Every structure is written in C-alpha cells, then in structure tokens.
Amino acid sequence: MTTSPLPPSLVAPGGTVGILGGGQLGRMLTLAAAELGLKTHIYTPDSKSPAGQVANSVTQAGFEDEAALLQFAQSVDIVTYEFENIPLEVTSYLQNHVAILPDPQALAIAQDRLAEKTFLQQNGIATAPFAEVSADHSIEQAIEHIGCPAVLKTRRLGYDGKGQRVIRESKEAPGAWKSLAKAPALLEAFIDFGCEISVIAARGQDGAIACYDIAENIHANHILHQTFVPARVSNTIAQAALKTATDIIRKLNYVGVMGIEMFANLPGPDAPHLLMVNEIAPRVHNSGHWTSDACPVSQFEQHMRAICGWPLGSTTRTHNAVMTNLLGEEWRRWQTYAQTPNTSLHLYGKQDTRPGRKMGHVTQLLPLVE
Amino acid sequence: MTTSPLPPSLVAPGGTVGILGGGQLGRMLTLAAAELGLKTHIYTPDSKSPAGQVANSVTQAGFEDEAALLQFAQSVDIVTYEFENIPLEVTSYLQNHVAILPDPQALAIAQDRLAEKTFLQQNGIATAPFAEVSADHSIEQAIEHIGCPAVLKTRRLGYDGKGQRVIRESKEAPGAWKSLAKAPALLEAFIDFGCEISVIAARGQDGAIACYDIAENIHANHILHQTFVPARVSNTIAQAALKTATDIIRKLNYVGVMGIEMFANLPGPDAPHLLMVNEIAPRVHNSGHWTSDACPVSQFEQHMRAICGWPLGSTTRTHNAVMTNLLGEEWRRWQTYAQTPNTSLHLYGKQDTRPGRKMGHVTQLLPLVE
C-alpha cells in the first residue's frame, strides 16, 4: 500500500527536527536549531559524528535499518537531510510516517547528473552542453555531439572532483570511460569560465524566497578552498544569477536552503556574458558558511526557519567576508587563526584528521564595501 | 590531606570543558564551545537542563554527590561554572582533581555581599556606603551609620531583587530585618543613580584583558528587562567604568568572563559624577547577551577562550544593539519576533514556563552610531 507523503506543518520551539546525516553541516544545523529553542535528532551510521555530539538525540544505525528508521520518524516532528546521497528508498519509507523537507524529489534530481541537467534544460536554464554516456549511448557519439575538450562525469556519487575525467582529444574518450568502470556517465562540454559563483537560496513553507548575496568560490585540488563575498561578477550577471536561483527553487516547489553553483565570467571588455548552472545541492552548502559570521541569520538558521514553517530571516550582509576551509592538518594551526583579528574559527569536532578532510573553516570579516 | 589546587593549562580543540550548572548560560557556553571544536560536560541536578540538551555529556547529580563529582572531575580537562551559588566545598573538593577557572575565590566574594563590598573597598573601588547587619551588628547601629533611605540586602543567595527591602525611615528598619528572617545582611545607602551600566570584562590565562563596550540596563520588577549598547553615559564615565572593571579583574587574578554592574549618572549640567560598583558576577552575564549578535566574538566564546588558555578574541562592536529578555509567557510571541527585521531570536529550550522566568531573549541590531 502506498500512502501520500505527509504534508509539513509548523514546528514550534520545543519541537524536534530529525536530520539524516551527522557531518559538519548537521552539526551547524543543530547549533542553529538550539538557538531557536528547537531540538534535533541525528540519524547517522557514524558512532562519533560531528552532529551527534551536540544534538539532543542520536540514532546510530544504517540506512537499511527499517526498525530504526521507523522509531526515528516517530520521534521527530519533521525530517530534513544534510547530504544528498541518501537512498530514495529511505525517504520514501520515512514519508509514510513523517513529513520530509526539502521534498525528496530534489534529492532525486541532485543525485543524478543526467536528471539534474535535464531538469534545468527543460526549465530553460543554461547549463554546459551535455550528452549521456551508457551502454546504450556510446562515448564516441557523445564526443561527436559535444566536442573536445570535455569532461566525463559519473552520473552518481561524484563529489569534490571524484568520478571525473577531462578529455582533451577524442581518442582519450574510451579510456577515460573505462577508467570510470564504464559507470553511467555524462559528457559535458568543457566551459572556459572566468569564475565559479554560488547562490545560497531559501524558500519557506509559505513560498517566500530569499537569496544571500552572490559569493565566489576558489577550488584547489577539486575541493572548495575559499569562498568570498561579494563575487567579482558584474551587476548584470549577479542579477541573472539571483533570477536563475529563484527560478530553480520555485520550479522545484522547494522548501529549505539550497546551494547552486554556477559558472560565470569576470567583468572585462573581452568577456562574453556567461552564466551556466553547474550543480544543485539540496541542502546548506559549504559556500554559504560565511553567512554564519557576516549575516544576522545564517544559512543554517534559515534552513531551520524554512522547513519548520517559520518566516524566513533577513539575508542582508553586514560585512564582506572570506571563508577558508581548513583541510586535513591545517586545523592544527588553530592557535594562529584564533589570534587573527576579525577572524572567526569554526571546528567540527572530527576525531580523525585525513588529507583533504574538511576539519573546520575560518571566516575573515572585512568592512562592507562593494 | 590538603593538596594545592591544580594549575590550569591549555585545553586544545577536542578537549572537554566541565560546566557546573545547566541553565541558559551553560547552554550558550556549550554552543560557543562547539563552534570551537571543544566538548562540554554539564554537571547539574536538573534532568532536563537547557545546557544538558546540547552538551556532549551530562552528569545529573546533586552537588553533595562526591562520587559523581569525582567522576566528573576525571572526565574533563578544566572546570568552569555558570552560576555563582555553588557551594565552596564543591569547588574545594574538585580542585584536588582538576583545575577550576575562574578561581573559586571569585565565587567566595560574589556569594557574600559583605565580602564583595569589603574587597572592593579595600581596593579603592567606589561602592554605596554599607554596614553589616547581624546578631552582633544591630540594624539600629547600621541605620545610624548609613542613614535613610537605605536598602537592606541579605548577604547570601539574593538575586533578581529577592532578599531585599527598601527602608525609607529608620523606624521601618527592625521590621525589615525581621521580614528577612534576621539573616546576616548588609545595609546599603540608597543611591539615587541615573542609570545602571555593566561592563563585560575578560582576562586570559596570559593576563591579557579585554572589555566589551559599556552597556546600559533597564530593570522591571527587579529583573533585567533590556540591555542596550552603547550606554548613554559620558565618555569620562565610560572610561572610568572600563578602568574599574580592569582593576577588579586584575586584582582578583581572574581568568574568564566577568559581569560587573555599576551605578552611574547620565550626562547633564546638574548631574554629579557618579560611578559605583553594585555587583560582580564571576561568569558570563545576562547584560552581555548582545555580544552574541553585535560582536565577532561573543562573551560565551570569550569565556571559553579565556579559561582554555586561548588568546582572547576581539571585543569590537559591529552594531548598536538592544537586548530584551523574554520573561514568562512572552516567548510565546516567538513568531512575531522571528519576523521582526534585524532581530535575532534566542530560546533556551526550557520546558516549563513560569512568571518572570527567563525563557529566551531577542537582540535587535541597529546601525553602528554613537
């Protein structure tokens, strides 16, 4: 028997938000919830999760454990998630017992690059040209269609540059796909962009939409290194990016905070107008961490407000800011960061330091100047 | 056998701070600690404490439970406290096993109005004239010495106006003392002050001192109603207040955040220069809650930095602010506060609403103007 998903309702102070996943995003959501008098219950397989340490309750169980999922669903007022690779069977099962926001259809789209790009294309939103690669859609056909250079990406489970191959010449294509174990993939035209920007957008249960200012991202080794705000793009591109984000979040009937990464160009006489959506993350996003220090309402509080049916908070920015991820051993320099003026230190309570692992971040605040 | 108290040392991220008491101050300390990657362990008799809900660990036990205290001491790297009425036997016992900051001598002073006023007087810091009232020091002698009007206050366990009687005429004095069950008391001259101000001061393990800007307090029914910053006092009084706070925190060799309430005068041609210390609180303080929203480093983070041996953070203020306590049923208007522009809502997760109980606070941010 299939029942309709439960509709969301108001979660008042004292209510409990269930969060699927226990990483640093769940931790920061939990801390924001606590300031609002909301409780959190973390569901994670991890016995020492960053979020579980500070939440009111933790269920430590695998996502295949139906009994644990049922008990979790029955002990919370609403469910949300802090990472996108949650099996859709899990959300379908939970939806029989409790409301989930954002609607898991956003997960379905974000988990699959083909579904994501198709959704964007069907809604008139620019992306890099793309072609499917699978047993039925050959890499040779895709290369013919897209040209070189191009980037081959697995449809699922890619993050921080994992599951990607750059193809410079067509003859490299078969080998590239083979090296990805011939997993279902997408070939995307290589975009010669000037910068990557992101929009952190929020939509409330009442349909109100609020976006933070456009931020610009710097990657190193395919991992986000820094985000700074404001982005260096022209006002025209900034306005177009906000409109794009608003279109996406409205078309999805989305409730919560969403991170949207886009390719753009820096201003300049020779720069063509470029704005393409690269990726959608149906959750709070690393490129929005600066909002914790430079805005009255952080992306984490905003997400809680949205999914709990509260009015959205102000997205006004009170400072310019530079957020830098502390990857791997870098967090051990915490004493230096702690004494750097105008710099907020955030550490995630992770026990094991591994190369490239996000252990914390710092945000440097600068005077508000455009 | 008496051993010397253990000296404090550096508590690095991943370390655990033990907090005696589980109220909203402990909760906000816990949330600040979590952002720094520090763990907290709350010791409280309360089974549903605001702080325990968000801390890494909780010991629910009475302060007379030596076995629980020992286990608590052995499971943390340093101990601090969030209220001042902790029995000194508890801190003496704990000090054999773990360092406590601020040094409990500050507790001894803050727990006893006579010790507090005497300490201030001996260090040349102005207070209201005072006289002891006890079996050996009659109320009549005290009135003769201090005059009327005066305020009779029990030496111990007074807060939010409890344990106080205003005496307008000398004949009321014996009855007033009787109504306080003839508890050891202090008679203070009634000060006709223009405003009450507070200084939130911090001193690090390294002896560095940092004060936030002077704030002004408005009480209603003897309970703090609002704190706004900047205070309306003259620059001369503001500077004198900062110097007084610095003197106190240095003389006590204090480590941590301290709240110091003072009586002062508003500027005006007829206003005499007035600055007297009213009360010292050896902990984070309600009149410093605005720092969470109007400063890069809140009083809660500052306290954690100080006691853990970290460098103190910046006390620069980025906004003007008005903090309003949500007492009793007032928090039920949370939806109104949540949609008020430039206003941050903080709720403490308390289950039972009682008249006058501090259930949360809101801080309204205003542009930075003197």
CATH of the domain at A148: 3.30.1490.20
User: Splitting chain A (370 residues) into consecutive groups of 10 residues, what average pLDDT does each group show?
Assistant: 68 97 98 98 96 96 97 98 95 96 96 96 96 92 94 83 87 91 93 96 97 97 94 96 98 97 91 92 98 96 98 95 97 96 96 95 90
- Chain A residues within 8 A of B364 when measuring between CB atoms: none
Residues B237 and B268 in one domain: yes
A252 token code pair: 């999805």
CB A99 within 8 A of CB A84: no
- Chain A residues within 8 A of B37 when measuring between CB atoms: 331, 334, 347-349, 360
Question: A206 to chain B nearest CA, in Å?
Answer: 13
Positive or negative: CA dihedral B230, B234, B239, B242: negative
Residues A140 and A67 in one domain: no
In a domain? residue B107: no
List the Cα angle B47/B52/B55 in 5-degree steps: 155
With residue B196 as reference, give the H or E element that holds it: strand B195-203
pTM: 0.94
- What span, in angstroms and rounded, lies between the C-alpha atoms of B145 and B131? 7
B331 touches chain A (CB under 8 A): yes
Nearest to B310 among A53, A55, A338 (CB): A338
Positive or negative: CA dihedral A337, A339, A341, A344: positive
In a domain? residue A117: no
Residues B206 and B349 in one domain: yes
Residues A217 and A362 in one domain: yes
Residues B238 and B184 in one domain: no
Question: A286 to chain B nearest CA, in Å?
Answer: 15
Nearest Cα to Cα of residue B24 among B224, B173, B243, B294: B224
In a domain? residue B106: no
Question: A109 to chain B nearest CA, in Å?
Answer: 32
Q: Which domain holds residue A75?
A: 16-100
Interface test with A, best of B292, B302, B345 (most A CBs within 10 A): B345
Interface of A with B in 295-324 (CB under 8 A): 296-297, 305, 310-311, 313-314, 316, 318-319
Residue in B with minimal Cα distance to A348? B37
Question: A268 to chain B nearest CA, in Å?
Answer: 34
Interface of B with A in 6-65 (CB under 8 A): 12-14, 27, 30-31, 34-37, 39, 53-56
CB A166 within 8 A of CB A151: yes
- What span, in angstroms and rounded, lies between the C-alpha atoms of B9 and B294? 30
What are the residues facing A196 on neighbouring strands? A217, A263
Nearest to B31 among A31, A39, A297 (CB): A31
CB B348 within 8 A of CB B82: no
Distance of CA B237 to the CA centre of its chain: 21
In a domain? residue B294: yes
Helix (H, G, I), strand (E, B) or coil at B181: coil
In a domain? residue B46: yes
CATH number at residue B261: 3.30.470.20
Please report, in angstroms and rounded to a whole number, the separation of the first and last CA atoms in chain A.
Answer: 56
Residues A75 and A134 in one domain: no
In a domain? residue A178: yes
CB B230 within 8 A of CB B213: yes
Q: Which of B81, B100, B119 is the last residue of a domain?
A: B100
CB A290 within 8 A of CB A321: yes
Residues A203 and A338 in one domain: yes
Q: What is the pLDDT of residue B8?
A: 78
Residues B82 and B227 in one domain: no
In a domain? residue A112: no
In degrees and rounded to multiples of 5, residue A201 shows phi and psi of: -115, 150
Residues B180 and B312 in one domain: no
Nearest to B37 among A36, A360, A365 (CB): A360
Q: Which of B84, B100, B116 is the last residue of a domain?
A: B100
| Tens-digit pLDDT string for chain B (370 aa) | 445 676 778 999 999 999 999 999 999 999 999 999 999 999 999 999 999 999 999 999 999 999 999 999 999 999 999 999 999 999 999 999 999 999 999 999 999 999 999 999 999 999 999 999 998 999 999 999 999 999 999 998 766 667 889 999 999 989 999 999 999 999 999 999 999 999 999 999 999 999 999 999 999 988 999 999 999 999 999 999 999 999 999 999 999 999 999 999 999 888 888 999 999 999 999 999 999 999 999 999 999 999 999 999 999 999 999 999 999 999 999 999 999 999 999 999 999 999 999 999 999 999 988 6
Q: Which residues contact A344 (CB under 8 A, 6 or more apart)?
A: A292, A293, A362, A363, A365, B35, B296, B297
- What span, in angstroms and rounded, lies between the C-alpha atoms of B274 and B262? 10
Residues A353 and A283 in one domain: yes
Distance of CA B337 to the CA centre of its chain: 26
What interface predicted TM-score (ipTM) does this complex get? 0.91
- Chain B residues within 8 A of A338 when measuring between CB atoms: 305, 310-311, 313
- What span, in angstroms and rounded, lies between the C-alpha atoms of B264 and B108? 26
In a domain? residue A243: yes
B282 touches chain A (CB under 8 A): no
Residues B200 and B347 in one domain: yes
- What span, in angstroms and rounded, lies between the C-alpha atoms of A323 and A228? 6
Q: How many domains does chain A have?
A: 3
A347 touches chain B (CB under 8 A): yes
CATH number at residue A39: 3.40.50.20
Residues A307 and A222 in one domain: yes
Residue with tokens 């602010």: B321
